[in-house]
C-alpha cells in the first residue's frame, strides 16, 4: 500500500507546475507589504519553520520582505570558519545528506539511487577530471541560514547556470525522483586550489526557490552575467578564501561539493544525516 501511495504522490509531483509555483513564491516573497503585515508574516514564518531568531543579523520583524528574511545574514561571530591549514569546511548550514567517493562517474543520491557526475556538472570533460574524487552533499531546510560559502581557499575559474526543473529536494524526492540533482536547475562554480587541483560547488534549486544568486562578480568591467559559461576573454578569475560568501538560495535547497581525485580526504567521523554549520571542518586537503 505504501508503495502505491508513493507512486501516486510522485505522479502528482511530476504533474504539479513546479516552476510556475516557484516563480509565484519568489514574487510573493519580494513584495513589500505594509509594516504591520510584514511583521506578522515574518513572525508566522519564523515560528512555522523554527527559525533561529537570535542568530539573525536584524530583529526578525525588521526584515522588509519575506525574501530578505530568507536570505538574512547572521550576527558577527555566529559562525566560526575552521582556519586550520588545508581545511575543507561545510559551505552552508544543513544536514549531511550523503558523502563518499565518485565511482565511475557515479554519486549516491540516496540508498539505492545514483546519479552521474558529468550530468550534474553539465560538462563531460570536468566530470572526467573530478572522477574518483571525494564528494559530499548538504541539504538545507527552510529554517536554515540560506547563504552558501566557499569550502576551501582557491580561485574561481568558471561558473555556469544549467536550467532545469524545480522538484523539491527533501527526503521523499531524494528517495523517489531519479536523477533529482541532474534534472533540477543548478549553478556550478569551479574553483582551483593553490595546489592546482579543482573542486566544484553545485547549488541546486528546489520547488519554492524563486531564484539563486551569486555573491562574487567574476566578470571584467562592462560585462554582466547572462547565465552561460564564460570564455577566458570575458571571465576575470576571482581569488576567494574558505568562508567567503559564494551565493544565496532564496529558500532552502542542496549543495554538492566535488573534489578532484587525490585532492583531499573527508573526515572519518562523518555520518549521514549529521547536522552541519557553515565553516565546520569536513575534510582536509592533501
Residue 268 grid coordinates: 572519518
Is 93 labeled as catalytic in the residue annotation? yes
Mind giving me the DSSP string for 166-204?
----SHHHHHHSTTHHHHB-EEEEEEE-TTS-EEEEEEE
Instruction: Tally helices (H) and strands (E) across the chain.
Output: 8, 16
Burial of 277 (0-12, 13-18, 19+ CB in 10 A): middle
- Residue 45 CA to residue 37 CA, distance in Å, equals 12
Of the candidates 46, 92, 173, 253, the residue annotated as catalytic is 253
* 253 is known as an active-site residue: yes
Note whether 263 and 129 are within 8 A (CB). Answer: no
Catalytic position from the list 46, 67, 93, 250: 93
DSSP E strands in the chain: the ranges are 87-89, 94-101, 106-110, 113-116, 134-139, 147-149, 154-162, 186-192, 198-204, 212-214, 238-240, 245-249, 254-259, 264-266, 275-276, 281-285
Given 146, 149, 161, 250, the catalytic residue:
149
- Phi and psi based region of residue 72 (left: phi greater than 0; alpha: psi -120 to 50; beta: remaining): beta
Q: Among all residues, which ones are annotated catalytic?
A: 93, 149, 253
Amino acid at each position: 500500500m505504501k508503495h502505491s501511495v508513493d507512486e501516486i504522490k510522485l505522479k502528482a509531483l511530476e504533474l504539479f507546475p513546479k516552476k510556475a509555483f516557484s516563480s509565484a513564491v519568489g514574487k510573493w516573497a519580494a513584495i513589500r507589504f505594509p509594516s504591520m503585515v510584514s511583521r506578522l508574516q515574518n513572525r508566522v514564518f519564523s515560528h512555522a519553520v523554527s527559525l533561529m531568531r537570535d542568530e539573525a543579523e536584524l530583529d526578525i520583524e525588521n526584515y522588509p520582505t519575506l525574501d530578505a528574511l530568507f536570505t538574512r545574514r547572521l550576527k558577527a561571530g555566529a559562525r566560526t570558519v575552521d582556519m586550520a591549514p588545508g581545511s575543507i569546511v561545510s559551505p552552508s548550514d544543513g544536514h549531511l545528506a550523503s558523502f563518499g567517493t565518485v565511482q565511475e562517474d557515479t554519486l549516491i543520491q540516496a540508498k539505492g539511487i545514483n546519479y552521474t557526475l558529468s550530468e550534474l556538472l553539465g560538462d563531460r570533460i570536468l566530470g572526467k577530471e573530478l572522477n574518483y574524487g571525494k564528494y559530499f552533499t548538504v541539504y538545507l531546510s527552510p529554517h536554515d541560514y540560506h547563504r552558501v560559502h566557499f569550502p576551501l581557499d582557491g580561485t574561481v575559474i568558471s561558473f555556469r547556470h544549467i536550467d532545469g526543473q524545480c522538484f523539491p529536494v527533501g527526503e521523499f524526492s531524494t528517495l523517489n525522483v531519479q536523477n533529482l540533482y541532474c534534472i533540477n536547475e543548478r549553478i556550478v562554480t569551479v574553483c582551483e586550489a593553490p595546489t592546482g587541483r579543482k573542486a566544484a560547488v553545485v547549488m541546486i534549486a528546489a520547488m519554492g526557490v524563486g531564484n539563486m544568486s551569486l555573491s562574487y562578480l567574476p566578470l571584467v568591467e562592462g560585462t554582466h552575467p547572462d547565465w552561460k559559461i564564460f570564455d577566458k576573454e570575458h571571465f576575470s578569475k576571482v581569488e576567494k578564501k574558505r568562508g567567503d560568501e559564494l551565493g544565496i538560495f532564496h529558500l532552502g535547497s542542496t549543495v554538492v561539493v566535488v573534489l578532484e581525485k587525490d585532492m583531499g580526504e573527508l573526515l572519518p567521523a562523518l555520518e549521514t544525516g549529521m547536522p552541519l554549520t557553515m565553516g565546520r571542518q569536513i575534510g582536509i586537503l592533501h
